[in-house]
Amino acid sequence: MGDVVLRDADRPGDLGWVVMAHGELYAREYGWSVEAVTARIVADFAAGPAHDRAWIAELDRRRVGCVFCVHEDASTARLRLLLLDPVARGLGVGRALVRRCVAHARDAEYGRLVLWTNAPLDAARTIYLAEGFRLVAEAEHDEFGVALLGQDYELVLTA
């Protein structure tokens, strides 16, 4: 395996890849239908403020991961759409993507960074907890066509 590169998601096809990769991976691994939700998030990002950011992780020049950091309100940013292709798991790419998002939120002087995820996503939760996020709420939902436990996490960025 070669080197992993994190770069801005600003190349042709990047945003389409995010939608496609989410749709394919979550259907294959969990039986979830996330493509429509992902497409709305990506469309909002594309039309959103210039200070919103997204990154793509590449391994051997192939897209293998992503994360978005978007404006929630004056003091809050939201981590969205963290994804890692199975070929890149165990290489620290997920942690690097989350750290890039956290660093951007700090640099942009947000007071906190929040995210929403689902209980079955153990690897992502492990990264979030290791980076200092704490679970602040849980609620059942069926947004992806199956019953799930959604989880809200928060990372306070200011002392």
Q: Both tokens of residue 11?
A: 């190349």
* pLDDT tier at 159, thresholds 50, 70, 90: low
* Tens digit of each residue's pLDDT (9 = 90 or more) over 8-49: 999 999 999 999 999 999 999 999 999 999 999 999 999 987
Give the pLDDT confidence score for residue 62 in this predicted structure. 96
pTM greater than the 0.85 cutoff: yes
Domain ranges (residues) in the chain? 4-156
| 4-156 topology per CATH | Aminopeptidase (3.40.630)
What is the DSSP secondary-structure string of the chain?
Answer: ---EEEEES-STTHHHHHHHHHHHHHHHHH----HHHHHHHHHHHHHS-TT-EEEEEEETTEEEEEEEEEEEETTEEEEEEEEE-GGGTTTTHHHHHHHHHHHHHHHTT-SEEEEEEETT-HHHHHHHHHTT-EEEEEEEE-TTSS-EEEEEEEEE---
Distance of alpha carbon 2 from alpha carbon 8, whole angstroms: 19
Confidence band, pLDDT 50/70/90 cuts, at residue 141: confident
Own/partner long-range contacts of 148-152 (Cβ < 8 Å, ≥24 apart) = 148/32, 148/118, 148/119, 148/120, 149/118, 149/119, 150/116, 150/117, 150/118, 150/119, 151/116, 151/117, 151/118, 151/119, 151/125, 152/114, 152/115, 152/116
Using a pLDDT cut of 70, give the percent of the chain over it. 98
